Every structure is written in C-alpha cells, then in structure tokens.
Amino acid sequence: MFQGNAIVGQSGGPTSVINSSLCGVVQGCFELGQKDPNSKIDKVFGMQYGIEGFMQDKVLDFGSIDPATIEGLKTTPGSALGSCRHKVQDADFPVILEQLKKYNIRYYFLAGGNDTMDTIHRVEKYCKEQGYDLRGVGVPKTVDNDLFATDHTPGFGSAARYVALSVKQAGVLARDMKKVDQYVIFQTIGRDAGWLPAAAACAKVDPEDAPHIILVPEIPFEFDKFIAKAQETYDKYGFVSVVCGEGIRDANKVVVSSLDADGVEIKKEATLDKFGNQELGAMAGTSVAIALHRMLGKHLKRDGKTEGGCRGEFQVTESLPMCGADRTTALDIQEAWNCGRRAVELALEGQSGVMVTMNRVSNDPYKVEYETAPLQAVAVEAKPMPLEYVDAENLFVTKECVDYLKPLIGELPQYVKLF
C-alpha cells in the first residue's frame, strides 16, 4: 500500500487556464484517491506561492475549500495558489524534505514550464537518495509553447488566440488610419520560441490584412532585409503591420532591443533573472517593439520621399496574454483540466518523474492522446518552432504552421470593409 497526502503547486508565469489544471489535480485527488486498492490519497494540500512558500510553511488544505470554489478554478485566470520563480538550491533540499515529512506528502504535483519540471525532477531525485518515497508528476504549462515532448501546452492556445485577435483588430485600425500612422508593431512574449508571434498569421485572410511581417527568435534578425520588406509592404498597401517576439536576436546573438535605429548594437550590461536568463521587455527597461519602431521611423520612406517621413505605433502587451480570460478557448480549458487529472492517474498508477504530454493524432478532426515524457527530457531546454514552419525569405510563417495553429486558436471573427 502506497498511502499519504498530496500537494500541488504552481510556478512561473500564469496562463489563463493554469487554474483549470489545478482544478483537475485537486478534483482528481478527491475523486480517485480512495479508489485504488494499492494507492491512497488522504488529504490534498496546496503550496501557496510555489516551492518558495512551501519552504516557509505556507500550505493550504483543499479539504477546507468549498467544492464550488474548486470547480470555479476552471474559468479563473491568474495563479490561484500564488506563484514564484525560485530556483531551488542545494541548501533548500533538506528544508523541502522536512516539509514533505511534516505533511506526509507522498504525491507531488507542480504545474509549470521548463524550470518547474527541473524542480520536480531534482526534488524527486533528492528524496529517492534520502530513502523517502515520493511520486512526482509534472503538469505542463506555458504560453510560449516551448516544452519538449508535447504537441502543445495548456495555456498556449488561449494566448495564441489573444495575439491573433489583437493583431487582427489592430490591423483594421492601422489600415483605416494609414494616412496618420504608417506602421504598427505588436510585440509578444516568448524568449526563445516564435510560437506566439506565429499565431498572428491566423488573423490574415487577404494579402492586405495584418500581419505583413512576423519576426521570430528562430531566424536571425537582418536589419537591411527588415527595412526592405517593410518598404515594399508600405509601397503596396500604404501601411505595415509587424509582429515580433521579444527574444529576437541578430546573427551575433544580440537581442534586437539592444540595437539602435540603424541596427547597431548599443553597448549595455544585460540584466539577468534568477535562472541566468537575460531579462527582456519591460524588465530590461526597453523592448524590441520600441527598437523596431525607431528603425522604421528613421528609414521608412513615405510616398517615395526621403527617409523619416513615416510615423507609427507600437503595442507591447507583456503579460496580458497570460491572463486574458475573455479570450480563453473552451478547448484550452478542457485540455488543461485533463492534464491535471491525468497527472493524478499516473501517480496513483505508480508513475513518477514524468510530465503529462499531449500527442496530436489528428488535425481534422482535431484529436490528442495523453502520454508522458521523462522530466529530464523536458527540463531547462526550450522547444523552438520547426524551421519548416518559418518562411525566412518572406519574414512570415508557412501554411503548415497555420494549419497547426488553427485548431488551438479556434474561429476568429471576420470584419467587413467598405473599400
């Protein structure tokens, strides 16, 4: 008999459906925890503010929470348990183990991305070395869609829809206001993978429609090519819609937010986060969108006249796609819940050291199967977009990419135009 209590936590940035995964875990523990004759779950606890809060003894007993509130997690944005970005150090492991023993935790679930999977893996490994039986299962989460071994991650579909709708609506505005502003730049989050900027392509129906240029981290940024493509697009349509990922870099690995209006690097010291990653966007005090805005503002020619004759706008949504509950898809909510519940099933079956994955078996009709991947296979490293999804020549994405994205984003509204 493998019996004890379960604990679940959330880590890193939220998605609009991470609480649906939390709901799936909690409801799964309550509904399945006493049915298996060989594996039992007695109580279900939650980490308040992730592993950092757990070490500080901030623990929530889900047995005291109204079932209606737990059900309401499915459609609640943010991270209901509270989150953190704590990188576990060697000195933390004894503290974590004592906390696990204190609450008799034998089932350990975390919803998160690459770094979170690394945390589960390291904690489970340490417990095994210390002779403490613990089953750890990861629940995938990230709007970046950059986890290995899974077709996509819960949270990505809704964030992708947020981007596609935003670019579509901003594109209508830009088209109608092109006599005032000749270009618009929309920046998405996403350090190393271009899945979110690629999602903007689903907004496009006609050639004139936004977006016209999509810049992704997988392809090095080329200043001259960017300016030439923007000029060609402006000359053809009278305005330019650009979508960029925050992590795009040039051939020298310099982030584009560090380039001046001529595409030359501005020497400055990089700001790093707790995991050693370079801070981007607002945390770095600048953004790719602003850098691209300056480039076009200086070099784009209006009506064949001298450079610098154009003006434009930039839109940096930062974390809004991570919490936009009004644009969450029903599919994303259900898949997030399924992943949480499947994690409980796996733990009760005796599996540990794995993350729940989704394998797409059919695109039309859309269908996935729930499988697993070893935590060490998904921890730390990011999954880029396949290069066959990127149209590097035209600074866009391919039809194959759009076909992959459409089932996750769902149908978008179509708008009329008078001329």
Closest by CA position to 320, among listed 294, 281, 271, 291: 281
Distance CA 221, CA 241 (A): 17
Strands in 113-161 per DSSP E: 135-140
Distance CA 344, CA 5 (A): 12
Please state, in angstroms and as integers, the Cα–Cα distance from residue 121 to each residue in 222, 390, 418, following that order. 39, 33, 57
**φ, ψ of residue 414 in degrees (nearest 5):** -110, 135
- DSSP class of residue 106? E
Instruction: Give the chain's radius of gyration (CA, Å).
Output: 23
Coil, strand or helix at 399? helix
207 CB neighbour count, 10 Å cutoff:
9
93 CB neighbour count, 10 Å cutoff:
17
Q: Would you call 176 a catalytic residue per the annotation? A: no
Q: Which of 92, 118, 144, 192 does the annotation list as catalytic?
A: 144
Which residues participate in catalysis according to the annotation? 144
